[in-house]
Chain A
Amino acid sequence: MLGRAAHGVYWMSRYLERAENTARLLNVGLRIALTRGADTTREDEWRSVLVTTGQNLAYRQLYDDYDGVQVFNFILRDKTNPSSVLAMIQGARTNARMVRTSITSEVWESTNECWMQLGDALARPVREHNLGDVLAMIRRLTTQVRGAIEGTMLRNEVFNFSRIGTFIERADNTARILDIKYYVLLPSLAWVGSHIDNAQWDTLLRSVSGDRAYRWLNKGTMDAKGIAQFLILDSKFPRSLIFSYDKIRSNMSGLALEYGHESPSHELVRSGCARLHQTDIDKVFEAGLHEFLTSCISDTVRIGNAIAADFKFVE
């Protein structure tokens, strides 16, 4: 397999995952905008979406306030925003087109269709009353691509690179959301364990589509530690850090099996997994959640770079 093709499949999957995660974050913003509350709560929420997706600086260059319609249009479709959902989908499609011979027709067509339909839906400014439909559409179309990958791709190196891209993006995303929300929600670590407004925690879980799963598992009790445990260490939850890392590891093993040897990135993935498996949530809090998450985020970046180098993504 060409290094450039591995690079393309990897980024196609990362971009799709990122677009989907962004839609999920915007959904929470929309939900808060629709619930009664102080304007500052809404603005905080929109701001945190921008911060989580790393778009706050670019946004501040254009605007002074966090007006909802302004924020979600910037995130969804602003031409000057290289990280907009539209740019992500365009990026996924361009990569898919580049690796057209490595993916199945079903995967290509679903990616192309995703790009065509979202291109139409985002051709004009999105208004509050149709934001919900647009976000549902993003999730549905990206889910379709994932379904096509799952259902039609050979389980070979191409598939492995696609999955590695998906889960590196997801690990990064979950760690960022937890870090930023926690930071906002808990200015002081002394508050851990104290009673917090349930609605706030609810938004954190919704940002990763984990609200129902969490309630189901925890019978309604909601506390900071429980939520952090769920998002970091619950290997049953498909958006947790540990789940994402386990998936990265199993797909890296697939590559080692196919290529007959391991690369330096394999070692990094193994130690990344070990760190998650050999801890518990009390230890995490003892050491400091923020510190723990920041180092997870930089580990994930390091793994991504090592994979790009080991598998010759670029010259």
Chain B
Amino acid sequence: MQSQDEDKYDEMFGPDGTVRPAYAEFHDWFEKQNPAWLHKKDKEAEIVFRRSGITFNVYSENAAEERLIPFDMVPRIIAAREWRKLKRGIEQRVRALNAFLQDLYHRQEIVRSGRLPVEMLQGNDAFLPQMVGFVPPGGIYTHVVGIDLVRTGADEFMVLEDNARTPSGVSYMLENRETMMAMFPDLFTRIPVQPVSNYPRLLARSLGACAPACAEAQPRIAVLTPGIYNSAYYEHAFLADQMGAELVEASDIRVVDGRVAMRCTTGYQPIDVLYRRVDDDYLDPLSFNRDSMLGVAGIMDVYRAGRITIANAPGTGIADDKALYSYMPEIVQFYTGEQPILKNVPTWRCREEDSLKYVLENLAELVVKEVHGSGGYGMLIGPAASRTELEKFRQKLRANPGNYIAQPTLALSTVPIFTKSGLAPRHVDLRPFVLVSPEGIEITPGGLTRVALKKGSLVVNSSQGGGTKDSWVLED
């Protein structure tokens, strides 16, 4: 999809070509570098990523393949003042998300008050009846959250979606910074950039703070991965390694004497906190998906007995359901009593008759997403679709309107990338990572900037050919 050039906002350059203040130092440095040397550095970075195995798996029809996520060396820079506001907005939203989950699985005040239609929960697979009436250890539902933000103007940041299940990408945030520091150390002595490297330590502390009462003083944390063929396996291994936690697969763990335990060389040892990177469906074959080979039979019973912490809590998926997304402004207001600091992208719920009518009539200008989809799969980008594609999608919409939401095509901001012919603007988004524990909310400055590498493209997903950038938040 192409964006209209006239109303797009470039984060480095103003409309008249002047460099915006946050980028001034970087631009000054960049101009002084020999392009041939920069290209050489670019190649070196790719070799480093390959050698370290910083890859993600892609599944095509034939075979699994390990690919690199392309890395662009031009950082995305956020001024301290901009970040302060974003941070407040993110914190507010994440607080609301946890209060919302607590309410949904208990008294459902928000439904009683008429602000959320009960149909949003009924028949929604993301709502887990097994969680009703249960308080997770520490009272935390979403230990790790990723809030996807897009920018459309100088002061216009909007939330594109909330990732409250198992947000991924944080390893790229960390590796991108490492790579930049190794490639261009002088940049970091010139420009005061807020560090991100303590994320794994904060994650370990945050998870530890939610440990169940039966845990030892030094809680035993394990990262549960679906295995080496999972697209985010690199990240699972990376985080376990950085936290000094065990990296386990479902086949390593079972319920032993009322605890969830892992099979060690000397026998089974209990786990206190399980940072799971598998979906709810694959958690417990006894409670959820009976066909699952990936789960741990009986883990939900141990969980409900308060003898293990599962992060994020089962059933948090209801909070990032795309159908519920459009209610987020009401949700934030309902639980915090404040106006939302971060706006939502205007969204039409196709389940509502008027909205469906509007969406069908204006399909060519809209982006349509599946309510339960992720990773950019199964979505329609109106402006980029052919007549036939639009017609086919209209039929899908009519057949199952409740399965879709639609949003306007946003004029996403751009940040330049480094190309053979110099700097060229490309669309970006931002996923800051948020840690929640009884001790409070921690937001790592910046996050993961994803960038569409194709000129004019708005699709930043790595599964669809997007790349990443190091994201800098400047010190005051």
What residues make up the interface of A, taking CB atoms closer than 8 Å to B? 1-4, 6, 94, 97-98, 100-101, 105, 108-109, 112-113, 116, 157, 255, 259, 311-312, 315
Which residues from chain B contact A312 at a C-beta distance below 8 Å? 263-265, 267
Main secondary structure on B side of the interface with A = mixed
Which residues from chain B contact A97 at a C-beta distance below 8 Å? 53, 228, 233, 237
Choose among B51, B249, B251 the residue that contacts A109 (Cβ–Cβ < 8 A).
B51
Given A3-B252, A4-B251, A101-B241 in contact, is the A259-B51 Cβ separation under 8 Å?
no
Which residues from chain A contact B267 at a C-beta distance below 8 Å? 312
24 A–B contact pairs at CB < 8 A? Answer: A1-B265, A2-B252, A2-B264, A2-B265, A3-B252, A3-B263, A3-B264, A3-B265, A4-B249, A4-B251, A6-B265, A97-B228, A98-B227, A100-B241, A100-B247, A101-B237, A101-B241, A108-B52, A108-B53, A109-B53, A116-B50, A157-B265, A311-B266, A312-B267
- B205: shortest Cβ distance to chain A, in Å? 19
- B51 contacts A315, CB within 8 Å? no
Nearest A residue (CB) for B223: A101
Choose among A4, A6, A101 the residue that contacts B240 (Cβ–Cβ < 8 A).
A101
- B241 contacts A98, CB within 8 Å? no
Which residues from chain B contact A157 at a C-beta distance below 8 Å? 265
- B228 contacts A2, CB within 8 Å? no
A98 to B240, CA, bound (A): 12
- B242: shortest Cβ distance to chain A, in Å? 9
Which residues from chain A contact B237 at a C-beta distance below 8 Å? 97, 100-101
Which residues from chain A contact B50 at a C-beta distance below 8 Å? 116
Contact with A along B219-260 (1 / 0, CB 8 A): 000000001100001000100110001111101100000000
- A315 contacts B265, CB within 8 Å? no
For the A-B complex with A2-B265, A97-B233, A109-B53 known, give 18 more contacts whose Cβ atoms are closer than 8 Å.
A1-B264, A2-B248, A2-B252, A3-B265, A4-B249, A97-B228, A97-B237, A98-B227, A98-B228, A100-B241, A101-B241, A101-B247, A108-B52, A112-B51, A116-B50, A312-B263, A312-B265, A315-B251
- B51 contacts A116, CB within 8 Å? yes
Choose among B52, B227, B262 the residue that contacts A112 (Cβ–Cβ < 8 A).
B52
Given A2-B252, A4-B251, A4-B252 in contact, is the A259-B265 Cβ separation under 8 Å?
yes
Which residues from chain B contact A101 at a C-beta distance below 8 Å? 237, 240-241, 245-247
Nearest B residue (CB) for A105: B52
Which residues from chain B contact A116 at a C-beta distance below 8 Å? 50-51
Contact with A along B101-133 (1 / 0, CB 8 A): 000000000000000000000000000000000
Which residues from chain B contact A100 at a C-beta distance below 8 Å? 237, 241, 247
- B364: shortest Cβ distance to chain A, in Å? 45
Q: Which 4 A-B pairs have the closest CB atoms?
A: A100-B237, A311-B265, A101-B241, A101-B247
Which residues from chain B contact A94 at a C-beta distance below 8 Å? 228
A255 to B245, CA, bound (A): 21
- B39: shortest Cβ distance to chain A, in Å? 22
- A232: shortest Cβ distance to chain B, in Å? 31
Nearest A residue (CB) for B52: A109
Main secondary structure on A side of the interface with B = helix
Which B residues between 329 and 370 are near A, CB-CB below 8 angstroms?
none
A98 to B227, CA, bound (A): 8
What residues make up the interface of B, taking CB atoms closer than 8 Å to A? 50-53, 227-228, 233, 237, 240-241, 245-249, 251-252, 262-267
A109 to B54, CA, bound (A): 11
Nearest B residue (CB) for A95: B228
- A2 contacts B53, CB within 8 Å? no
A83 to B344, CA, bound (A): 56
- A92: shortest Cβ distance to chain B, in Å? 13
- B263 contacts A315, CB within 8 Å? yes
A294 to B83, CA, bound (A): 71
Which residues from chain A contact B245 at a C-beta distance below 8 Å? 101
Which residues from chain B contact A259 at a C-beta distance below 8 Å? 265-266
Given A97-B228, A100-B241 in contact, is the A4-B52 Cβ separation under 8 Å?
no
Nearest A residue (CB) for B251: A315
Nearest A residue (CB) for B244: A101
- B19: shortest Cβ distance to chain A, in Å? 38
A152 to B227, CA, bound (A): 26
Nearest A residue (CB) for B238: A100
A4 to B252, CA, bound (A): 7
Which residues from chain A contact B248 at a C-beta distance below 8 Å? 2
Nearest B residue (CB) for A99: B247
A22 to B247, CA, bound (A): 33
Nearest B residue (CB) for A311: B265
Nearest B residue (CB) for A261: B266
A200 to B245, CA, bound (A): 54
A148 to B419, CA, bound (A): 37
Choose among B233, B241, B246 the residue that contacts A2 (Cβ–Cβ < 8 A).
B246
A113 to B263, CA, bound (A): 31
Which residues from chain A contact B240 at a C-beta distance below 8 Å? 101
Which residues from chain B contact A311 at a C-beta distance below 8 Å? 265-266
A116 to B55, CA, bound (A): 13
Which residues from chain B contact A112 at a C-beta distance below 8 Å? 51-53
Nearest B residue (CB) for A307: B265
A97 to B247, CA, bound (A): 11
Which residues from chain A contact B51 at a C-beta distance below 8 Å? 109, 112-113, 116
- B468: shortest Cβ distance to chain A, in Å? 21
A240 to B241, CA, bound (A): 37
A68 to B50, CA, bound (A): 34
A82 to B431, CA, bound (A): 43
A200 to B262, CA, bound (A): 53
Nearest B residue (CB) for A4: B252
- B52 contacts A2, CB within 8 Å? no
- B443: shortest Cβ distance to chain A, in Å? 26
Residue of A2, A94, A97, A98 most packed against chain B (CB within 10 A): A2
Residue of A3, A6, A109, A116 most packed against chain B (CB within 10 A): A3
A101 to B248, CA, bound (A): 10
A105 to B241, CA, bound (A): 10
A6 to B266, CA, bound (A): 11
Residue of B51, B53, B245, B262 most packed against chain A (CB within 10 A): B53
Residue of A100, A105, A116 most packed against chain B (CB within 10 A): A100
- A158: shortest Cβ distance to chain B, in Å? 10
- B433: shortest Cβ distance to chain A, in Å? 20
Which residues from chain A contact B241 at a C-beta distance below 8 Å? 100-101
A188 to B100, CA, bound (A): 84
A98 to B267, CA, bound (A): 20
Given A101-B247, A105-B52, A108-B53 in contact, is the A2-B266 Cβ separation under 8 Å?
no
A255 to B249, CA, bound (A): 24
Nearest A residue (CB) for B245: A101
Which residues from chain A contact B249 at a C-beta distance below 8 Å? 4
- A141: shortest Cβ distance to chain B, in Å? 13
A312 to B266, CA, bound (A): 8
